[in-house]
Structure formats: C-alpha cells, structure tokens
Amino acid sequence: MLRILRGGQRWLTAIFVVGIGGVFVFFLGLQGPLNAPSGGTVASVGPYQFGIREFERARQRREAALQEQLGDQYDSQALADTLDQMAVRQLVDQALLAMEAEDLGFAIGKKEIEQMVLADPGFRDESGRFDRASFEDYVDYAYGSQSSFIEDRRLALLSNKMIRLLNAQPQISEGEARAVAQQGLEEVRIAFVALGGEPADAAEIDAADVEAVLAEREEEVRALYEERSGEYNVPEKVRARHILLAIPSEADEEAEAAIRERAEAALVRVRDGGEDFALVATEISEDQGTKGEGGDLGFFERGQMVEAFEDAAFGMQEGEISSELVRSTFGFHVIKVEERRAAVHEPFETVRDDLARELLATETANVRARELAEALAGAIREGQSLEEAARERELTLERSGFLGRRADGFIPGLGAAQELLASAFALEPGQSAPRIFEVGDRLALVQVLERKEADPQQVEDRVDALRANLLEQKRNARANTWINRRREALVNQGELRVDLESLR
C-alpha cells in the first residue's frame, strides 16, 4: 500500500479496423477527405486529418471493446496511455487502407451507406420503421455534423473493402492444416547433456594470470563491476512491520480524532502491554496488503515509502517500536523495526582482483565446456549415441518426460531451447544430433529416446477448426505486414504525423 509503484506500458500493434455498423440520415452528397479536423489535428495521414473529436470517437470504441473483453479487470487509469495509442493506430490504419482502396479505384456510393444504415436495428422505432429524429440527435452528439458522419462511414467502408481484398488472397489447404495438426499432436521424450554455466574453481586461477588480466583487460573487469554494482553498492535498508489505521479522505476532525484514539490504543497494546506486534497487526491493521503477514513490509530503502513513514523507520533501532504514532497521507501508523542493514560500498579497487579471478574462472569453464561438447559431438558423428558418449566421460545425462512442440521451446531442466526442441522432432528414436546447441550460457546436445505419433482420429477432429484458425492468422499477418510497410513509407515521405501532445 505504501510502496511507490511504477507501471509499465505495453504497446499494442494489432490492426484495428473500425466496424461499419451505424445509422443513416438522408444526407447531402458524399464528401471528400476530411480536411478540417475538429479541435486541432491529432493525426495527419496523407490528405486525411483527424482532430480531437475523431480521436475521442475512436478511443471510446476501443475502450468499449476492452471493457467487454476484460470485464472486472478493466482499469481505465492503467490503460489510459494504451487506449490513446490504440485510438491513434485505428485512425492511421483506417486512413492507410482507405487511401490504398482509392488508389485501386474503389469508391463508396450513396446507396452503399444507405443500405448499411437502413439495415441497422439501432435506429428503428417500435414498429420497425427508420427513426429520423433519433438518428439526427445521435449525429449531432457524436459527430457534430452530417458531413463528418458521412466521411467517417465512407472511410470505414473503404478500409473494409481493402481488408476484404487483402483477406481474399491468403489460402490454407486442407493438407497444410492436417500437417500442422499432426505436428501439434506429436510428442518426443529426450535425453540431453548441458555443459557450462558454472565458473571453474577460482582457487585454480594463478595470481600471475590475474595480474595480466588487470593489466591488459581492465575495461572488461570494470564492466563486470558495473554490471554487478547492485552487490557492491547497496543503500541502507530496514525491515519493518506496521499497524495502519486509515483516515478516509472525507473524514472530518471528529472522525480523525476517533481514529487517532484507536491507533493510540493499539500503540499501548504493543508497547506497554507487551502484546505480539504481528498478532495485533493481523487483528486490526487496515493495510490489506500486509495485515495477513502481521504488518510485515519486508526490507526497503529510502525513497520507497512515504516520507513521514521512512523518516521514522530509519530513525529507529532493531526491535524498537515507535514511541508515538506516525501520521502519513494514509493515516496513523504504529511501526516496529525488525532488522537493519547498513549501507555497503565497495570501490572497484577493493574487488578488482576477485572480479578478474572470476572472469578467468568463467572463461576457463567455458573453454572446458566447449572442448567437452566438441568431444561428445565427435563421438556421435563416429556412431556413438549421446548416452554412450556421456557415460564414458562420466557426465550427467538428463531425461525428460514427453514433450510437445512449444513456441518458446521450454524444456524442464534446461530452459528455452527452441532450436534443440525443433531438432528433436526431426530425429528418430535412439538417434542423437551431433550439433551443439547454445542454450543461455550453456552448451547442450540431445538424443531422442521415444516418439509418440499423432492419433489419426485426433488429427481429423482438429483439421477444420485449425484450418480456419491458420487462415485467420495468415490474413492478419499479411494485413499487418502491408500496413506496416505503408505506414513506414508515409513516415519517410513526411506524410504521416501524430501529435498526441495536442491532447494534453
């Protein structure tokens, strides 16, 4: 509750083509590009310009879609920046598609918009007839003018025509879908050897070699020091518990006095009464994030808590309970400091010998691992299995359970090893691969122990659904690639500009 939280941003880049459902009024003639954006230009794409009104409409559509997808997990504040990006992306992508459709000779006639809107049940009265008054109210509220509504619908129809054209080209055959289904149901059980990842015994490193490294490769040693600065430069930390009696923002003086009285009673219980601090915190603290842990906040350094709280905590000794209440923006706290850790600062000069020795130990281990891996690969090429070659060298051979194909290539006990796992599915039972795979900071070799082929009936059961899914993926990938290239070209030509700062 007290900690400073830093939320990351996730940039969504999927294509969002606005739906063309809408309403209709018997309007003036079709308009050209929207050259007069409402409220300042947020995005400019070739001849199209989009202002704040257009941006807000797109943002509301994206927000409604996210609310429906996420339900109770939807957080408008956490997703605010993401929604801004999604809305601008929708406007830009729709304009790109519409421009290409126009270049190819597509056009939108009045009849198309009429048919689209008249088919929409949202603007029909109880008798099923078109309700013109209701529509006009909607246009005035959402678009400001009939011409803006018409242009919005025209762009939506043009962009959808272009999407349909892009989607008409990719195809997935039944054979392709069947092959993917078979692959998805196949499993293998493997054995593997993983070498390296641990430095050699530093005691084996000669002092003269350490001096040589410091003389010839000091920059590398300094880089290792910077990489490990968190170990050598540690700020002072304390571990504390607290009991919080929260003060609501609407509390008046009388309410606050009552809360203070309750907090002082808690202070008396743990200081004078000798009651267990953690038990009292579990009973009455109003910090829901820590009360289940007896008010334990763990270790923290300065800058992680609100100022009043950390000033009090860093001024106390181990085992000490605050002598008086601490008032913060959250409420009244009773604090107990459980542990203190002094700040640590080890200059480069005091640890450089150890770092140089570690660097040499790691390099020595890597050389040995490479030599051993090459020896195993050579033995496999000469006809031995990995199991036989590993046994001769008294190496540990790990065995897996049955594994399916995974995009991340994760193998228990080894980690993400996409290339190794893919290679395993190309081997027959008992066969070993002479290739050395780099998996993180380790070298690995693999042998297939068993193989499970896909059940034919399971394959057939999956073909139709998988074919539809693969086709959708292929269409999305093609549309994404096309839009990304078109966007990049317009940016390079100076014809695509986005100004989200105009919204601030």
Q: Are residues 68 and 178 in the same domain?
A: yes
Q: Are residues 165 and 203 in the same domain?
A: no
Question: Where is 398: in which H helix or E strand?
Answer: strand 398-404
Q: What mean pLDDT do residues 279-302 have?
A: 94
**Is pLDDT above 50 for 394?**
yes
> What six digits make up the tokens of 337?
């400091």
State the pLDDT at residue 193: 96
Q: Are residues 219 and 252 in the same domain?
A: no
CA atoms in the 13 A half-sphere facing the CB of 174:
3
Q: Are residues 441 and 306 in the same domain?
A: no
Q: What mean pLDDT do residues 238-260 have?
A: 94
**Is pLDDT above 70 for 449?**
yes
Torsion angles phi and psi, residue 326, rounded to 5: -110, 120
Listed range (136-145, 282-291, 391-400, 445-454) with the worst mean pLDDT: 136-145
Q: Are residues 94 and 181 in the same domain?
A: yes
Q: Could you identify the residue written with the tokens 């020795």? A: 357
Last residue of a domain, one of 304, 327, 342: 342
Q: Are residues 497 and 443 in the same domain?
A: no
State the pLDDT at residue 203: 62
State the pLDDT at residue 11: 27
Question: What is the band of 74 on the pLDDT scale with cuts at 50, 70, 90?
Answer: confident
**Is pLDDT above 60 for 102?**
yes
**Is pLDDT above 60 for 119?**
yes
Last residue of a domain, one of 288, 315, 342: 342
Listed range (145-149, 290-294, 442-446, 488-492) with the worst mean pLDDT: 145-149
Q: What mean pLDDT do residues 111-119 have?
A: 80
Question: What is the band of 72 on the pLDDT scale with cuts at 50, 70, 90?
Answer: confident
What CATH number should be reported for the domain holding residue 295?
A: 3.10.50.40
Question: What is the band of 30 on the pLDDT scale with cuts at 50, 70, 90?
Answer: very low
State the pLDDT at residue 287: 92
Question: What is the band of 489 on the pLDDT scale with cuts at 50, 70, 90?
Answer: very high
Q: Are residues 448 and 473 in the same domain?
A: no
**Is pLDDT above 70 for 301?**
yes
Q: Could you identify the residue written with the tokens 């920046």? A: 81
Q: Are residues 436 and 494 in the same domain?
A: no
Tell me which of 114 and 12 has the higher pLDDT.
Answer: 114
State the pLDDT at residue 29: 30
Q: What range defines the domain where residue 300 resides?
A: 236-342
What CATH number should be reported for the domain holding residue 100?
A: 1.10.4030.10
Question: CA-CA distance, 29 to 151, in Å (whole number)?
Answer: 11
Q: Are residues 464 and 318 in the same domain?
A: no
State the pLDDT at residue 1: 43
Listed range (30-34, 75-79, 155-159, 269-273) with the worst mean pLDDT: 30-34
State the pLDDT at residue 276: 95
Pairing of β 344-345 and β 326-327 = unpaired
Q: What mean pLDDT do residues 177-189 have?
A: 90
**Is pLDDT above 70 for 304?**
yes
Tell me which of 33 and 481 has the higher pLDDT.
Answer: 481
**Arithmetic mean of pLDDT over the chain:** 86
End-to-end CA distance of the chain: 29
State the pLDDT at residue 89: 92
Question: What is the band of 180 on the pLDDT scale with cuts at 50, 70, 90?
Answer: confident
Q: Are residues 279 and 372 in the same domain?
A: no
**DSSP-assigned letters across all residues of 109-160:** -HHHHHHHHHT-GGGB-TTS-B-HHHHHHHHHHHTSSHHHHHHHHHHHHHHH
> How many domains in the chain?
3
**Is pLDDT above 90 for 410?**
yes
Question: CA-CA distance, 80 to 64, in Å (whole number)?
Answer: 13
Closest C-alpha among 424, 426, 445 to residue 377: 445
Question: What is the band of 118 on the pLDDT scale with cuts at 50, 70, 90?
Answer: confident
Angle at 502 between CA 497 and CA 504, to 5 degrees: 140
Report the percent of the chain where pLDDT is more than 70.
90
Last residue of a domain, one of 342, 365, 398: 342
Q: What mean pLDDT do residues 29-51 have?
A: 65
3-state secondary structure 209-262: HHHHHHHHCHHHHHHHHHHCHHHHEECCEEEEEEEEEECCCCCCHHHHHHHHHH
pTM of the model: 0.52
State the pLDDT at residue 200: 60
> Do 88 and 496 touch, CB atoms closer than 8 A?
no
Question: CA-CA distance, 244 to 334, in Å (whole number)?
Answer: 7
**Is pLDDT above 70 for 36?**
no
Question: CA-CA distance, 73 to 295, in Å (whole number)?
Answer: 27
State the pLDDT at residue 501: 75
**Is pLDDT above 50 for 392?**
yes
pLDDT in tens, 203-225: 677 788 888 888 888 898 889 99
Q: Are residues 55 and 161 in the same domain?
A: yes
Cβ partners under 8 Å of residue 406, min gap 6: 421
State the pLDDT at residue 50: 92
Q: How many residues does the chain have?
A: 504
**Is pLDDT above 50 for 295?**
yes
Q: Are residues 159 and 201 in the same domain?
A: no
State the pLDDT at residue 357: 86
User: Which DSSP letter does residue 73 get?
Assistant: G
